[in-house]
Structure 1
Amino acid sequence: MSRTWVLTRQAEAALEDIADWTWQTFGPRQAELYAEDLIAHCSALADGMVHSRSCRALLDPDLPEDLRFARMGRHYIVFIEEPARIVIVDLLHVSSDLPRRLAERGDGEGRD
């Protein structure tokens, strides 16, 4: 059975920022394709078709146990895994300081 997925307000804003930057840098067609790829990757995460890693085990043992991330293109999709759905918490560029950015998030804040 497939799970659903939702974006937090932070993840929605990040997706819009990514699309805007890609549009300005590479044009509207590339922006549309990359946004579609990110959205498809979120669906694949919910379906269990994409490998993800525990933020806690890899980055910081103080992070919430259910906080995970997966890479898609030049971005990390950070999400919380729940039994019936996944909550996309943020989309972070690979050049960002992932441990610091996740530590700033605290213990699951941003869930909608």
Structure 2
Amino acid sequence: MPDPSGQWNVRLAARAEKDLREIISWTAEQFGEKQARVYAGTLSAAIVALKGGPDLLAVRRRGEIGSGICTLHVARGGRKGRHLLVFRAAPDRARTVDVLRVLHDAMDLPSRLTPEDR
């Protein structure tokens, strides 16, 4: 059922959830628990921003990766970060964004997506 507020629904694929856990764990190991909490907030803020839909100003269409694939950098609104939300509008549900992966911005994105993601 569509959200009466006009916001989009955001679904995280299992691989995106795993990416998030690994990113936060790595951040905690490298920079400490406090920084991991800060970065978790940055990642969460980017996910929440997707409730505005796939046409946000900072969204990049990434047709070279796959049909309908887009990215949103987490470094936004004064926050710092080096990850991208890789997503697409769900073809099977109205006003739903599917976050497929959460990947470092230096990664070769096409090699990190499976054929099912495309």
TM-score bracket, normalised by the shorter chain, equals 0.7 to 0.9
User: Which one-letter code corresponds to 1:78 in the other structure?
Assistant: V
Query: Following TM superposition, where does structure 1 have runs of at least 4 consecutive aligned residues deviating by more than 4 angstroms?
Result: none
1:17-96 correspondence runs (5 A):
17-48=22-53, 49-56=56-63, 59-60=64-65, 63-64=66-67, 66-72=68-74, 73-82=81-90, 83-96=94-107
Gaps of 5+ in 2: 1-5, 75-80
Deviation, structure 1 residue 40: 1.2
1:2 match: secondary structure:
coil
Give aligned pairs, total.
102
Deviation, structure 1 residue 36: 1.5
Between Structure 1 and Structure 2, which shows a larger proportion of helix residues? 1
The TM-score with structure 1 as length reference comes to: 0.81
Partner of 1:5: 10
Gaps of 5+ in 1: none
User: Which one-letter code corresponds to 2:85 in the other structure?
Assistant: I
1:6 match: secondary structure:
strand
Deviation, structure 1 residue 46: 2.1
CA contact (8 A) 1:44 1:50 kept: no
Q: Distance in 2 between matches of 1:74 and 1:108?
A: 21
For the structure 1 residues 19 and 50, does the alpha-carbon distance in structure 2 shift closer, same or farther, using more than 3 Å as the test?
farther
Identity of aligned residues (%): 30
Deviates more, 1:7-16 or 1:35-44: 35-44
Partner of 1:106: 115
- Aligned Cα RMSD in Å? 1.7
The TM-score with structure 2 as length reference comes to: 0.77
